[in-house]
A and B are shown apart, each in its own frame.
Chain A
Amino acid sequence: MAYSEKVIDHYNNPRNIGTLNKDEKNVGTGLVGAPECGDVMRLQIQVNEENGIIEDAKFKTFGCGSAIASSSLATEWLKGKTVEEAMAIDNMDIVEELALPPVKIHCSVLAEDAIKTAINDYRTKQGLEEIK
């Protein structure tokens, strides 16, 4: 199975690898997946508490090239979005952008989960309700 050019680009030049301080009140962390399943993603957002805009996003991923590319792309998309806009990112957007084949759709699902988990972690810290 050949990877799309975009997947290869994200794999070779991953955007926003790194770690934000998970104890900060304006940082939300989403850790999803499991080592047994062969993929674990950690996605973090740093939110400007005044305007609700995501100022920074970082990821680290254990997984195949498509999982790495999905999370790398997610951090790119998250930056500059409001939390509400970020919540609307759909896994199929990632599938389309990266031209993921059917067997790799689960990578995009995981990335969407990671985004939502990170946002809800942030909201919980802010004393807000989780969004389903």
Chain B
Amino acid sequence: MLNVPIYLDNNATTPMDPRVLEAMLPYFNDKFGNAASRNHAFGWNAEEAVDYAREQVAKLINASPKEIIFTSGATESNNLALKGIFEMYARKGNHIITVNTEHKAVLDSCKHIEKLGGKVTYLEPAVDGLINLEDLEKAITPETIVISVMYGNNEIGVLQPIEEISAIARKHGILFHSDATQAVGKVPVDVQAQNIDLMSFTAHKMYGPKGVGALYVRRKNPRVKVTAQVDGGGHERGMRSGTLNVPGIVGFGKACELCMNEMEEEAKKLSKMRDRLEAELLKVEESYVNGSVEHRLPHVTNISFKHVEGEGLMMGIKDLAVSSGSACTSASLEPSYVLKNLGLDDDLAHSSLRFGLGRFTTDEEIDYAIDHVSKAVNKLRDMSPLWEMFKEGIDLKTVEWQEH
């Protein structure tokens, strides 16, 4: 039996795995203690649970538990990493290198840093979403303190060449931070082998709860420190104060353990499903995949259906939860900056849908998606003046549009 609506927006958030919920429940009532309470069993129990979760989280990325700083999520982790480095390494320099297709949590932290007098270089990726390593190396100055490049992109799923980037950072003695929110738990991430110095990730993208995430901060070779952005009781080695979210952290740990055990199989299954979805949807005339198909997360595809507007399309597939790069979904009229920054024309960006498959996606759901999306595209093209003009052989770029 197919239950609608169908959820194919796992890049936005994932449902919690029931095993995660089960692990968390006792920490809401029976084991409610504050992990920082050192003088009684309630505190000890909570602390023990946090320590265990910290090991589970660390293990997934091949870090030491001491290198895990729990936060409220990846947005906070990104803020802490960038602003924290900017403050901590002020004497070394004030220049940051990042990419213009990063998540807003990185880009807006950089904007904030610019207001404080920092300098930021925003690399422009190629149309496939990958950054050019020569551009990266050329952007380095004696003032550069950190390179921040996301692991896997949230909109198109493109995986950046992390090892090559970290090698360049190492060579120049610069820290390397990666926003790995979409990648951890989906593909193998190894902070040792890949020489990552700081890394942001979050539980709710990997079948854990919302409101808990982590910043990995390397402790040796080199020993990295960030200036706290939330001051208080000196939790998390003084880098992030605030009473620990014990149930959330327990759930995060369990989610990491499950990913550790199941990721490989899951990635195989999801990439097979994704490839089928993509292949079938590409049979629709004038449809294109956005971003690299070679270097990509296993569960994501982003497809533009020319001459059909994304939000209008989503209304035609209302039992299918996906997201669109079209702007109509937000208050602004600008389409997705990620797609625009790949150099995609605005009309293609407006015509895009992002599909994010997940642990609980079924083959029947993929069938449903293929069928309904194809039908909706055809229906909307029948009422699209652009499609009619395209079919008449009119070059839409030569039309004088009456912009409003």
On whether A62 and B384 interact (CB within 8 A), knowing A32-B404, A36-B401, A40-B401, the answer reads yes
* B401-A33 in contact (CB<8A): yes
How many whole Å from A32's CB to the nearest CB in chain B?
Answer: 5
How many whole Å from B283's CB to the nearest CB in chain A?
Answer: 22
* B383-A33 in contact (CB<8A): no
- Answer yes or no: B1 CB below 8 A from chain A CBs: no
* A38-B309 in contact (CB<8A): yes
* A40-B333 in contact (CB<8A): no
- Answer yes or no: B2 CB below 8 A from chain A CBs: no
B-to-A contact residues, CB < 8 Å: 307-312, 315-316, 326-328, 331, 333, 335, 345-347, 350, 380, 382-388, 396, 401-404
Q: Mark A91-132, 1 if CB is under 8 A from B, else 0.
A: 000000000000100100110010001000000000000000
* A38-B350 in contact (CB<8A): yes
* A14-B383 in contact (CB<8A): yes
* A62-B386 in contact (CB<8A): yes
List 16 extra interface pairs beyond A37-B403, A62-B312, A62-B386, CB under 8 A: A11-B315, A11-B316, A33-B401, A35-B350, A37-B333, A37-B404, A38-B309, A40-B386, A40-B401, A59-B383, A60-B385, A61-B385, A62-B309, A63-B328, A113-B404, A117-B402
- Answer yes or no: A68 CB below 8 A from chain B CBs: yes
In the bound complex, what is the Cα–Cα distance between A60 and B52 (angstroms)?
60
Which among B308, B312, B382, B403 is the interface contact of A34 at CB below 8 angstroms? B403
How many whole Å from B321's CB to the nearest CB in chain A?
Answer: 14
In the bound complex, what is the Cα–Cα distance between A109 and B403 (angstroms)?
12
In the bound complex, what is the Cα–Cα distance between A61 and B389 (angstroms)?
12
How many whole Å from B391's CB to the nearest CB in chain A?
Answer: 11
In the bound complex, what is the Cα–Cα distance between A59 and B401 (angstroms)?
17
Q: Mark A50-87, 1 if CB is under 8 A from B, else 0.
A: 00000000011111110110000000000000000000
Q: Which 10 A-B pairs have the closest CB atoms?
A: A34-B401, A35-B347, A36-B346, A42-B385, A64-B311, A60-B385, A65-B315, A64-B328, A38-B350, A62-B384
* B382-A17 in contact (CB<8A): yes
* A36-B404 in contact (CB<8A): no
On whether A65 and B346 interact (CB within 8 A), knowing A38-B335, A40-B385, the answer reads no
- Answer yes or no: A45 CB below 8 A from chain B CBs: no
In the bound complex, what is the Cα–Cα distance between A63 and B312 (angstroms)?
6
In the bound complex, what is the Cα–Cα distance between A42 and B309 (angstroms)?
15
On whether A103 and B331 interact (CB within 8 A), knowing A62-B308, A63-B309, A68-B312, the answer reads yes
How many whole Å from A1's CB to the nearest CB in chain B?
Answer: 8
* B315-A62 in contact (CB<8A): no
* A110-B384 in contact (CB<8A): no
Chain B, Cβ-Cβ closest to A43: B385
In the bound complex, what is the Cα–Cα distance between A39 and B312 (angstroms)?
10
Question: Which residues of A have CB within 8 Å of B382?
Answer: 17
On whether A17 and B401 interact (CB within 8 A), knowing A64-B315, A103-B331, the answer reads no
Q: Pick the most buried of A34, A67, A103, A117: most chain B CB atoms within 10 A of its CB.
A: A34
In the bound complex, what is the Cα–Cα distance between A65 and B276 (angstroms)?
29
* B404-A62 in contact (CB<8A): no
* A38-B328 in contact (CB<8A): yes
Give 14 pairs: A residue, B residue, CB < 8 Å, sorted on A: A31-B385, A33-B402, A34-B404, A36-B350, A37-B404, A38-B326, A38-B328, A38-B333, A38-B346, A42-B385, A61-B384, A62-B308, A64-B326, A113-B404
* A19-B401 in contact (CB<8A): no
On whether A41 and B385 interact (CB within 8 A), knowing A31-B402, A63-B312, A65-B311, the answer reads yes
Question: Which residues of A have CB within 8 Å of B331?
Answer: 103
Chain B, Cβ-Cβ closest to A65: B315
In the bound complex, what is the Cα–Cα distance between A87 and B376 (angstroms)?
33
Question: Which residues of A have CB within 8 Å of B388?
Answer: 19, 60
